[in-house]
Amino acid sequence: MKILCLNCGSSSVKYSLFDWDKKIALAAGVVERVGLTGSFVAHEVPDKEKVTVKQDCPSHKEAIKLVIDTLTSPLHGVIKDLKGISAVGHRVVHGGEKFVKSVLIDDNVLSVFRELSALAPLHNPPNILGIEAARELMPAIRHIAIMDTAWHQTMPASSYLYALPYSWYEKYGIRRYGFHGTSFLYVAKRAAVLLGRDPFSVNLVICHIGNGASVNVVKNGLSYDTSMGFTPLEGLVMGTRAGDHDPAIGLFVMEKEGLKAREMDSILNKKSGILGITGKFTDRRDVETAAAGGDARAALAMEIEAYRIKKYIGAYSAAVGGIDAVVFTAGVGEKGAITRAQALGGLETLGINLDENKNALSTTRNAETIISADNSRVKIFVIPTDEERVFVEDVAGLLKGDYDVHAKFHYSFQDIGYRNAMRDKAFEKECGKKPGLEKIAARPVGKLVR
């Protein structure tokens, strides 16, 4: 059984092909600049050199056709033809309240996604374009949607409702939805393994920190609250998103500068956050370099971002009556030692004690590491996320007929002996170049309780 995973953005199509029977990734890549000039695909096959193929892709249909052609290419491909693909898993950012788990796509499901586009105007439309193109190009293959919002459907009403006119929720579905759910699901299950605990007996604060960023508090293995809200704008300071702020500010500036709602939306989502503070940076590596060189606004941006993360960790720890672990994941969470140190500093009264040396060593995306001090009551893990693994297992479960909501479905990465061969191999190479890195690799504690 071979499963193709597609993640369609506004100008890109990320993909991976997984052999479920052999439990190995066959290929992965991304088509960049979809709808723009200079489109190309960057294609990778394990143990081979990365290949770049330039080809114009004026729409998602051409981009997905390029993915198919690349995967079946006599030169670069890994399958003979489309008969080698059993199903396609599609990332869909917003499933609203309609879906609590991944679902087989049909015309009715696609119609619901279109209705939900108003809730995620930057994400659902390209997701839908990708689904439509893939169904047209691969009509004999089953297509399955994996939604970022599904994981958060366990939140209680006290977490997801805003103190706004209740009729807005009834008429327009205005509530907290949360995002990054596929990442949180994977990381929560892995954290339970590392703690040697049943996944539904742990309380966690998970920090998914990338260009987009959010925090999720997990109570007894289920999403209890999360920082992103009705849209991905709320919560943490992000690369270009403002995160939490007084909503009256937007109204004030709109009146002062004569801006329309769409213009203000663009400013808050695309010109704020780290970019808004620094005036020129979104990549945290650039911010760190500038701050080290004396750029005061870059240093300030780092402080503001870390302080917001710290506040959420503290608030969410209190919300669930204490936590077993803090977990960092995604690009900055996995490699941003400075951001982690700033965010965790001063949380010792909550039982959160960072080991600075371990934290400085942990800049790998190929292994789970533990960076808490030996005397820390709350463990601190860095767990590289693997959203595509969730995609694959949801699709495989649906095809086999045993899939259900995550509380009733067993993922292979919940097993104490689960390993990612590709990451293990890459980590081994890293350890040869970075003395001490292997010593902070996190291992399951004892025998996993089920």
Question: Nearest-CA neighbor of 303 among 350, 345, 252, 251?
Answer: 345
Whole-number Å distance between alpha carbons of 228 and 183:
14
What type of residue sits at position 412? S
Whole-number Å distance between alpha carbons of 362 and 384:
11
DSSP string computed for 187-244: HHHHHHHHHTS-GGG--EEEEEESSSEEEEEEETTEEEEES--SSTTSSS--SS---S
3-class DSSP state of 399: helix
Whole-number Å distance between alpha carbons of 146 and 99:
10
Chain centroid to CA 277: 24
CB distance 144 to 88 below 8 Å: yes
Q: Does the active-site annotation cover 148?
A: yes
Neighbouring CB atoms inside 10 A of 337's CB total 20
Question: Nearest-CA neighbor of 339 among 303, 286, 295?
Answer: 303
Whole-number Å distance between alpha carbons of 385 and 334:
9
Tokens of 288: 């760190």
Residue in 148, 225, 295, 355 annotated catalytic: 148
3-class DSSP state of 381: strand
Q: Residues near 120 by Cβ (< 8 Å), separated by ≥ 6?
A: 93, 94, 231, 232
Residue with tokens 């996944």: 199
Instruction: Report the helix count and the strand count for the chain, using DSSP H and E.
Output: 16, 14
Q: In DSSP terms, which residues pair with 147 in a beta bridge?
A: 92
Q: In DSSP terms, which residues pair with 67 in a beta bridge?
A: none
Whole-number Å distance between alpha carbons of 427 and 357:
19
Instruction: List the alpha helices (DSSP H) in 79-156.
Output: 107-115, 124-137
H or E element, residue 70: helix 60-71
**β-strand pairing of 325-329 with 204-209:** parallel
List, by residue number, the catalytic residues: 148
